[in-house]
């Protein structure tokens, strides 16, 4: 079955760029939307954005100026870059597969802490 | 403050039925599908309902979804202690051109 796995640094310094990769196994990255969603400690879910396998993207307006999501179909991976991070970006980051308005398969999540 | 409004907490006894609400507006719930997720403590969210009322394979029919106007509801029958979790609604907001989540409802089964 399809599985998603997030990878990347667990600690990022303020003002630097957070970079995460999601590796898709057990299925193709084609024909789906691939999202990043985050959850600050003790809080709710926040949609960051999605990329279609063709490269088309949509971002949360509140994060749009700092976010880039890209896809590498040859590696069955997609990635998140969030620039100029602050403590408010500390969260568990999830990658997920789905369509517009829902995600049916999620990664286990990776905790990213922004601290000097 | 979330675009979609969910009650922070709901409680019910084992075996009973509970309904969780999700309220929005014409630009989101009123014009797009709603999905629902269950998040058990320390785990990733799990899709329970997509497209207002569709259950993915493996989701028991104790879980049901419905939508009316600018509100959506998740129903859970035959409550079990294992249903204790946070529940989130999600939809697309056509004005924001973004996916939006509710703030989540913590379900306690006591």
Partners of residue B47 in chain A, C-beta under 8 Å:
98, 102-104
Q: Work out the number of other CB atoms within 10 angstroms of the CB of residue B3.
A: 19
User: What is the percent of chain A where pLDDT is above 70?
Assistant: 100
The confidence score (pLDDT) of residue B4 equals: 97
Partners of residue B32 in chain A, C-beta under 8 Å:
101
- Give the residue-averaged pLDDT of A13-29: 96
Residues in CB range of A115: below 8 A, 6 or more apart? A11, A13, A14, A87, A90
The confidence score (pLDDT) of residue A101 equals: 85
The confidence score (pLDDT) of residue B2 equals: 86
Q: What is the pLDDT of residues A53-99, one digit of tens each?
A: 999 999 999 999 999 999 999 999 999 999 999 999 999 999 999 88
A72 vs A86: CA distance, rounded Å: 28
User: Given CB atoms, is B1 within the 8 Å cutoff of chain A?
Assistant: no
Partners of residue B4 in chain A, C-beta under 8 Å:
none
Exposure pattern of A23-58 as b/e (b: 16+ CB <10 Å)?
bbeeeebeebbbbbbbbeeeebbbbbbbbbbeeebb
Tell if the CB–CB gap between A45 and B32 is shorter than 8 Å. no
Q: What is the pLDDT of residues B22-60, one digit of tens each?
A: 999 999 999 999 999 999 999 999 999 999 999 999 999
Chain B residue with minimum CA distance to A95: B44
Pick from A26-30, A45-49, A77-81, B84-88: least confident: A26-30
The confidence score (pLDDT) of residue B43 equals: 97
The confidence score (pLDDT) of residue B1 equals: 78
Tell if the CB–CB gap between A47 and B100 is shorter than 8 Å. yes
Give residue B101's Cα distance to chain centre. 10
């Amino acid at each position: 079955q399809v599985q998603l796995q997030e990878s990347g640094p667990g600690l990022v310094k303020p003002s630097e760029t957070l970079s995460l990769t999601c590796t898709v196994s057990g299925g193709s990255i084609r024909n789906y939307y691939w999202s990043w969603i985050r959850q600050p400690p003790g809080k709710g879910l926040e949609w960051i954005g999605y990329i279609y396998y063709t490269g088309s993207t949509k971002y949360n307006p509140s994060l749009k100026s700092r976010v880039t999501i890209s896809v590498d179909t040859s590696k069955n991976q997609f990635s998140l870059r969030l620039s100029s991070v602050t403590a408010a970006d500390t969260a568990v980051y999830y990658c997920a597969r789905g369509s517009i308005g829902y995600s049916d398969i999620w990664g286990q999540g990776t905790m990213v802490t922004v601290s000097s | 403050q979330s675009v979609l409004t969910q009650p922070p907490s709901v409680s019910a006894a084992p075996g009973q039925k509970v309904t969780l609400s999700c309220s929005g507006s014409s630009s989101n719930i009123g014009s797009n599908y709603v999905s629902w997720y269950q998040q058990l403590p320390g785990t990733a969210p799990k899709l329970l309902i997509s497209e207002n009322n569709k259950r993915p394979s493996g989701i028991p029919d104790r879980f049901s979804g419905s939508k009316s106007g600018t509100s959506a509801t998740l129903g859970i029958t035959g409550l079990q202690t294992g249903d204790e979790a946070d529940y989130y609604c999600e939809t697309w907001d056509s004005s924001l051109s973004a996916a939006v989540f509710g703030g989540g409802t913590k379900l306690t089964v006591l």
